[in-house]
Each structure stands twice: as C-alpha cells, then as structure tokens.
Amino acid sequence: MIAESNINYNRIAEAIVYIKENFKNQPNLDEVAEKVHLSPFHFQRLFTEWVGVSPKKFLQYISIEHAKQTLKNQQATLFDTAYETGLSGTGRLHDLFVKIEGMTPGEYKNEGKNLVITYSFTESPFGKVLVASTQKGICHMAFVDHEEHAFKGLKMLFPEADFDQRVDRIQQNALCIFTQDWKNLDQIKLHLKGTDFQLNIWKALLKIPKGGLTTYGTIAKCINKPKASRAVGTAIGSNPVAFLIPCHRVIQATGDTGQYRWGSTRKTIMIGWEATQVDDN
C-alpha cells in the first residue's frame, strides 16, 4: 500500500508540474494523463482524490492566477490577457473569470472602481465589528481589534472603491442578528464575490441552524465533494462575512472546535452563546 501510494504521489506531483509549466497551451485531460502513463478515467479519479479538484479545475485556477497578474498591469488589455493565458479569446477569459472569481475580468481590473462602500464600526456580544455594505447588500463583516488596521484591510479588498463611514439601513438590518431571532428579520442581503466553489460552501453554511454544529466533512458531502474536506476548510476560512455566514458552526470530526479566522477563543464563546440562546427560546 505504501509503495502504491508513493507511486501515485509521484504521478500527481508530475502532473501538477506539467500543468503549471504548460498551462498556456491549455492541455486537455488526455494529454496530461498520457504524460503520467494513466488512462484519462483513472487519472481524473486519482488527481481529484489527491488534489481535491479535477485536473480541468486545477488548470482553470492556474490560468486565472496568471490572468489576474497580467491584468494588474494597467497597460494590459483583455485581449492581451487572454493571449498571455493561452485562451482563444476574450470570451473564454470572461467565462473563466465569471466561473472562478464571480466577476468579469473588467470588474477585477477596476478593483472596485465606481463602487461606493458604506462602512461602520459597532459593538457586538463578541467584540467590535466592522460591517461594510454596497447598494446590493453586505459585502464585508469582521471582528476587529484595531479600527485603523481593519479599515486598511477593507481597502485592500476594494482598492479603487469610494468609502463612506456611516451606518445605513442594510447594516442596521444585518446587525440585528446579534439581538433578535434572524427568522423574524427582513431578508438580509449579501453582495459577495468568490469562486463558484466558495459561493457553494458559503450557501451550505447558511443552512446550519442557530445553535447547531456540523463538520468540514459533512459540508463537503453537502456540495457533493466528499473528498474535498481540505478545500472546503480553505473556503470556509475565506468567508468574508463573519457571523452572518456562520462558519463558526463548523468544527472538526473529533469534536474539537478547530481554528477560526477571528480567533478560536471567540469561536468557542460564540458556539456556547448560541446554544444558550436556543435553550432560552
């Protein structure tokens, strides 16, 4: 078993290197499988098992990262970016960005230009919170220790946006989550950007009831990716909206609460607080 595992590891490692070095040629499944001396079917299954995503999706991730770096060059056009990434045209570049990043390449290049973000700081049962919104909904929510550092972090996410420090109706509605039963609130709107995979994970998190807990493995099964627990954990850790998208309700299969973007101690307290709220109701 160990010998076979080592062979499979070496094959997958070779495939990853090959894809990274040849992504501009957009190699297909058959080509990469032949490189590591496997049938396309066997290679697809083995790669997905080891990496957590299919070879095609991995190629898309490599391609999008190169495209993003190219777009950061202010002189680069969308056509230039498509060509440099090995895509046949701007249409494929557009489709790739929408599928992986949840935005068009133009929107990515603008980095929030012409977007007005309203933000404010407030107290919650678990410490100070920074909440930010656009006209479409909440785009960011985080527990903070230092307001200045937190605002700099928000600006890094939307470097070209205009910011206005004030409380709006969207924020007020969202912040009621700490004081009322969310089922009695008007629908809280979110304005998020993320990959299809991340958005699916965040949607799954919204289904975890208040006071309830689940595991990373269970979330993976919910999105039909039972072997992608590691990728699921990464997506959960990148949740941009604290508490509203309840990533704190996901724990390890052992029962350990695990890590949390805004502190493991805060996560433990939040889980206990919610359990008390449910018992009181």
Write out pLDDT tens, residues 161-206.
889 999 999 998 888 888 765 555 556 788 887 777 888 899 899 8
Say if residues 174 and 120 touch (Cβ distance below 8 Å): no
Residue 3 has pLDDT above 90, yes or no: no
Identify the sign of the CA torsion 164, 177, 254, 264: positive
Please give the Cα distance from 226 to 187 (Å, whole number): 31
Q: Whole-model pTM above 0.85?
A: no
Catalytic option among 139, 176, 222, 247: 247
Query: Over the range 2-34, which residues count as b (16 or more CB within 10 Å of their CB) and which as e?
Result: eeeeeebeebbeebbeebeebbeebbebeebbe
Provide mean pLDDT across the span 127-148.
93
33-54 pLDDT per residue, tens: 999 999 999 999 999 888 878 8
Please give the Cα distance from 128 to 145 (Å, whole number): 7
Distance of CA 53 to CAs 48, 67, 197, 214, Å? 5, 20, 10, 22
Q: Can you read off the two tokens belonging to residue 232?
A: 């699921």
Please give the Cα distance from 227 to 207 (Å, whole number): 21
What is the predicted pLDDT for the residue at 216?
92
Please give the Cα distance from 72 to 160 (Å, whole number): 13
Query: In one letter, which amino acid is 178?
Result: F
Provide mean pLDDT across the span 245-249.
94
DSSP 119: E
Reading across the β-sheet that carries 116-124, which strands appear in turn? 138-143, 127-133, 116-124, 162-165
Q: Can you read off the two tokens belonging to residue 213?
A: 């807990």
**Does 247 participate in catalysis according to the annotation?**
yes
